[in-house]
Amino acid sequence: MKLINLADTAQALVSNGKGILAADETVPTLTKRFDAHKIESTPDSRRTYREMFFTTPGIGEFISGVILQDETIHQKSSQRVAMADVLSQQGILPGIKVDNGAKPLAGSSEEKITEGLDGLRERLKEYYKLGARFAKWRAVITVSDLLPSINCIHVNANALARYAALCQEQDIVPIIEPEVLMDGSHTIERCEEITSAVLHAVFNALFDQKIYFEGMLLKPNMIISGKECLKQASIEEVAAATLRVLRRFVPPAVPGMVFLSGGQDHLSATGHLNAINQSEGPKPWKLSFSYGRALQDEALKAWNGKDENLKIGQQAFFHRAKCDNAAALGRYVKAMENESAKI
Ligand code: 13P
């Protein structure tokens, strides 16, 4: 394990307001997204879609890393270049999703445990050879009046720590994603209570398993009202609650947090990140983004599966990434939305 390399990689991923593009939807998930636009999902159409993002001119100014999934890291671009190399040519670090998805948790009818630890050491070795320098593992926590169970929190925290230890052993920076879902009618206070318990359990497990905090990143949810909650918290309330929780539970040794968007629309995801970064008070880590839907949705709509739209898809992506980069520096203003992307 090379501690300096891990720390350098983790810091590079959150430097200068840069953030991560999560382009690691599994084939069934991306197919669902394509279906909504009546785009056929084939290995070729998925490759074209991903390549549109990765080859956007100048995108390395705003994007430090891209999370790939297994199909994409084994694909070559239309120019016959390995996808990881396409990213490296843009100065972007390739990353890889290594969990095998959230499966029903035995003993609980509504909760999930993320699987994928068996054989992970060998898969990490292969991914490293293919160019991956960081990885992602996502745990999902469902919120209701009665959930999550203590058991669900603990088994997921333990799996996240086991994954992180294996990554660091293989010189791969682990991104640790314990996602408290926005689905449901819970209040922002309930989100704060549950996220606090989850982060407490996750950092206990990381400590027990001797994770090198300087060489990891956390991918948390923001503290936000449930999607169906009648009272939606303001941007300022989200920023204050998110910082309160992170200050209580995330050690300053962790170089950065890269938030997930979790179903927020792109403008909310940008606005919240900006408000978090503009808030007063101690922020001993970089606070940036690792968005999937919030970075991709507008580009997917613009592309719509047609080669002649690739350029406007790239413009949409460039614009969003530029706004999110500004938000990660606390410099976003709404007027930026009216600028057109010059690429
Ligand atoms: P969203 O930003 O769409 O939530 O995706 C981020 C991600 O990587 C979820 O695992």
Our answer on whether the CB atom of 261 is closer than 6 Å to any ligand 1 atom is yes
Our answer on whether the CB atom of 293 is closer than 6 Å to any ligand 1 atom is yes
**CA distance linking residue 226 with residue 195, whole number of Å:** 13
CB under 8 Å, gap of 24 or more: what pairs does 123-129 form? 123/98, 124/98, 124/166, 124/167, 124/170, 124/172, 125/170, 127/73, 127/96, 127/98, 127/172, 128/170, 128/171, 128/172
Q: Which residue's CA is the nearest one to ligand 1's atom 8?
A: 22
**CA distance linking residue 250 with residue 284, whole number of Å:** 10
Question: pLDDT value at position 293?
Answer: 97
**From the candidates 18, 219, 286, 322, which is the catalytic residue?**
219
The residue whose CB lies within 8 Å of the most ligand 1 atoms, and thus the one to mutate among 290, 296, 297, is 290
**CA distance linking residue 221 with residue 177, whole number of Å:** 8
Question: pLDDT value at position 340?
Answer: 80
Q: Which of 214, 246, 163 is nearest to 9 (CA)?
A: 214
| pTM beyond 0.95, yes or no | yes
Q: Which residue's CA is the nearest one to ligand 1's atom 1?
A: 292
Q: 3-state DSSP call for residue 148?
A: coil
Q: Which residue's CA is the nearest one to ligand 1's atom 10?
A: 138
Closest atom of ligand 1 relative to the 296 alpha carbon: 3
**CA distance linking residue 35 with residue 39, whole number of Å:** 6
- Taking the alpha carbons at both ends of the chain, their separation in whole angstroms is 40
Tokens 């880590």 correspond to 285
Question: pLDDT value at position 342?
Answer: 75
Question: pLDDT value at position 4?
Answer: 83
Q: 3-state DSSP call for residue 79?
A: coil
Tokens of 230: 């009648």
Instruction: Give the single-character DSSP code of 96.
Output: E
Our answer on whether the CB atom of 220 is closer than 6 Å to any ligand 1 atom is no
- In Å, how far are 33, 46, 49, 53, 256 from 40, measured between CA atoms? 10, 9, 11, 18, 37
Our answer on whether the CB atom of 192 is closer than 6 Å to any ligand 1 atom is no
Question: pLDDT value at position 343?
Answer: 78
Which ranges of the chain have pLDDT less than 50? none
* Active site (annotated) includes residue 334: no
Question: pLDDT value at position 83?
Answer: 98
Q: φ, ψ for residue 68 (rounded to 5)? A: -95, 170
Q: Which residue's CA is the nearest one to ligand 1's atom 4?
A: 262
Our answer on whether the CB atom of 295 is closer than 6 Å to any ligand 1 atom is no
* Active site (annotated) includes residue 219: yes
**CA distance linking residue 342 with residue 121, whole number of Å:** 43
